[in-house]
Amino acid sequence: MAFLSEIAMDNPSAISFASGAPAEACFELERWLKVIPRFQHDIAAARNIDAMAAGRMLGQYGRTSGLINDLIAENLLKDYGVECTPDRVIVTNGCQEALLMCLQTLCASEDDVVLARNPTYIGVTGAAALSGIRLYPLESNADESVASSFRRAVLALTLQGKRPRAFYLIPDFDNPTGDVLSVLDRRAVLAVAAEYGVVILEDNPYGMFRFEGSLIPPLAALDSSGTVIFLGTYSKTLCPAVRVGCAALPETLFGAVSGRLALAKKLRERKSFLSVTTSQINQALVGGILLEEAGSLARIVEPARRFYQTNRDVMLQSILAAFDDDRSLVKWNVPSGGFFLSMELPFSFGKDDMMECVATHGVIAMPMSFFALDGSQQNLVRLSFSNVTPEEITSGVERFARYVRDRLNTVAGF
């Protein structure tokens, strides 16, 4: 993050496709801040205390596991189809804290390993590195299903005396690839997880930003064996500054309620030392919005969803136009939602290339190798379309296409 903001600061006129931040134009802060009193009055009535006492209560530390667990449970059901009871929700400081707590709690011994698709979200790589936990990449072979490579990884690790404890993935509009896992793949992944007792950490920040096709149920909604912890966040549906997310636990852990209760206790203990609690003022803001919206953010998210869809369309049209003379130069996917598109280049593109590209052509593209767990992905870039205007997208893609051509011409000239 520091490196990216340095590059952006050193090249103020550059167009950046690097940041996966949501668009500020979609934040309705003035309106949202006004809902805190609504929450305050609601909780005052529920607890039979006066509004002033409820306001003071919001200023306190609060319960480790959170204040708005009931509203989050309702929201998970309405917006994601994930059934969860309030006592199974732990409110966290964004999804990042939920991720860190889960990794550290599930991987208590040196031999415990977490699996992840490759490439994967930098936040999980960082959280694992910070905790001294090994992240094992699933081989990304186009001919093999995710479930099959998951099974192979579990078997290989077990043979090495390791314990695969969790499998982290983003099945909807993946960061960084933009891909979606099919319902068949989801069911197959669940079966492998249940067979080998591996917890699935399902991260879902982009699920509400679907542009086409019908909703594929989250793994947590398909799970009948108690394998999935659903990691939620309000960073993209509302705004990152709320720093409110959650870990929603299954009813049983692999069939045992006692297993889930023990895990919940360990997670709460860990959270109490990581961050003590999640700001009750921030929870009141999220809770107030959920009260106003009757538990679903679908209405609030709709303008943002359309904004990202327009940007995705502009990016696809710009790519087609910019590579019109030779469409075989690059390959790209068509993400059906989310913030990211991936593109394959006819040469490798790493950190130095990224720096050169911004200095000479004024556009920042993110090397996919930054997200790789094994040094692979050398020819791929991630292009984010979430925090740019349509005009910037058109111009940025033109600049990037010029860079690709100039680079090929330079190579050919040698």
Ligand X SMILES: Cc1ncc(COP(=O)(O)O)c(C=O)c1O
Residues that bind ligand X (CB under 6 A): 20, 94-96, 121, 123, 170, 175, 203, 205, 233, 235, 240, 245
Instruction: Please identify, using beta-carbon distances, which residue of 177 and 318 lies nearer to ligand X.
Output: 177
- How far apart, in Å, are the Cα atoms of 333 and each of 176, 236, 340? 12, 22, 10
- Residue 203 C-beta: closest distance to ligand X, Å: 5
Cα–Cα distance measured from residue 174 to residue 170, given in angstroms and rounded to the nearest whole number: 5
Residue 60 per-residue DSSP state: S
CB of 364 to ligand X, least distance (A): 17
In this complex, which beta carbon is closest to ligand X, that of residue 121 or of residue 307?
121
Cα–Cα distance, 102 to 134 (Å, whole number): 14
Task: Give the pair of three-digit tokens for residue 60.
Answer: 């306190």
Of the candidates 258, 241, 269, the residue with the CA atom closest to the CA atom of residue 64:
269
Smaller CB distance to ligand X: residue 179 or 203?
203
CB–CB of 354/279 below 8 Å? no
Closest CB 119 distance from ligand X, rounded Å:
12
The number of residues making up the chain comes to 414
Cα 168 from Cα 191, distance rounded (Å): 15
Residue with nearest beta carbon to ligand X: 94
Q: How far is the CB of 151 from ligand X (least distance, A)?
A: 24
Q: Which is nearer to ligand X, 40 or 377 (CB)?
A: 377
Q: What minimum distance in Å lies between the beta carbon of 21 and ligand X? A: 7
- Return the number of the residue (340 or 403) whose C-beta is nearest ligand X: 340
Compute CA distances 2 → 6, 18, 95, 165, 312, whole Å: 6, 12, 20, 31, 26
d(CA 399, CA 414) in angstroms, rounded, equals 23
Query: What's the min distance (Å) between Cβ of 130 and ligand X?
Result: 14
Give the C-alpha separation, 146 to 121, whole Å. 17
Q: Select 1 or 159, whichever has its Cβ closest to ligand X.
A: 1
